Amino acid sequence: MRPTWLIGLTLAALLPAVAQAEPWEDVVAEAAGQTVYFNAWGGDLAINQYIDWARERLRDEYDVELRHVRVADIAEAVARIVAERAGGRDSGGSVDLLW
């Protein structure tokens, strides 16, 4: 059986930090219908298969769309975060999860 940490992390990423104290049922309800952009290195078949598995589970069990943004170097995603933050964007950026 595969670990499900990515599913929990994905759902938690959908909400602001303040919302972490909400009951889990509320987190799941608020996450339904949303999309999460998961920036991760795309160069490993096993990791890509795991993310695909998690994507299917998130979609089927929680109505959350997980988009795997495959990067060659995770510094690309970090640079996007830094640029968006420097531009005044505090929420709604292009990177929801980073690995």
Nearest to 39 by CA among 65, 74, 12: 74
Cα gap 95→84, rounded to integer Å? 10
pLDDT at 97: 81
How much is the pLDDT for 14?
61
Residue range 80-93: mean pLDDT, rounded: 89
Report pLDDT for 41.
Answer: 86
Distance CA 5, CA 84 (A): 27
CA angle, residues 90, 69, 5, in degrees to nearest 5: 80
Using one digit for the tens of pLDDT, what is the confidence trace for 51-86?
A: 999 999 999 999 999 999 998 888 988 998 999 999
Summarize pLDDT for 6-59 with one digit per residue, the tens.
666 666 666 555 455 789 899 899 999 999 999 998 888 999 999 999 999 999
